[in-house]
Structure 1
Amino acid sequence: MNKPWYVYLVRAANGSLYCGISDNPARRFLAHQKGQGARYFSTSPAVALVYVEAWPDKTKALQQERLVKKLRKSAKEALVASWSGLSPCDA
């Protein structure tokens, strides 16, 4: 059985949203806060993990990440607003 992968959104200090995938979004967010793992946060630090969705494997997560990255900011903000804040990685 494959382990789940996650598509996540992180809010940067400038209000922008960064989309990525990880098998552990909480750990990945901590790395982003330390300035590791993505040059994106070198100009505006990561401040909050604002959206997480689970996918059955890395391939599916990558496909979803591509779709989310193509969304307008308003659609990404709608995803953020819809998120309960709970994910399987919190359990």
Structure 2
Amino acid sequence: MIRTASGQLYTGISVNPERRLRQHKGELKGGAKALRGKGPLTLVFQHTYVDRASASKAEYQLKQLSKAAKEQLISEQSWKTST
């Protein structure tokens, strides 16, 4: 998930999240139109899946969550990576 300057969360999948973030930021060609002009952008959540099908299912499920639930996931991941 990527956080925009206004606090909105964008959810997508990629085999290379760092490259995809650079695309969204406009550093490389190919970013999503939905994120143009919404920077600065920050990668706030990522999870690895075994295949694209699993990642797509998880992406759909994430998009169904409320913003509060997404923020909870981000906060839990931050806690896990900081300890």
Does the alignment reach a TM-score above 0.5? yes
- Give the aligned partner of residue 65 of structure 2: 71
Percent identical: 36
Task: Choose from 7, 11, 29 the match for 1:19.
Answer: 11
Q: Deviations over 1:19-52 (max 9, x none)?
A: 0000010110111111742111124125210000
Q: Structure 1 residue runs of 4+, over 2 Å off? A: none
**Greater helix share, 1 or 2?**
2
Structure 1 residue 47 corresponds to structure 2 residue 41:
yes
**Greater strand share, 1 or 2?**
1
Give the secondary structure class of the aligned counterpart of 2:71.
Answer: helix
Segments of structure 1 that go 5 or more residues without pairing to the other structure are 1-8, 87-91
Moved more, 41-50 or 24-33: 41-50
Give the secondary structure class of the aligned counterpart of 1:23.
Answer: coil
* 8 Å Cα contact 2:25-2:31 kept in structure 1: no
- Give the aligned partner of residue 5 of structure 1: none
- The one of the two structures with greater contact order (alpha-carbon pairs below 8 A, sep at least 6) is 1
C-alpha RMSD of matched pairs (Å): 1.7
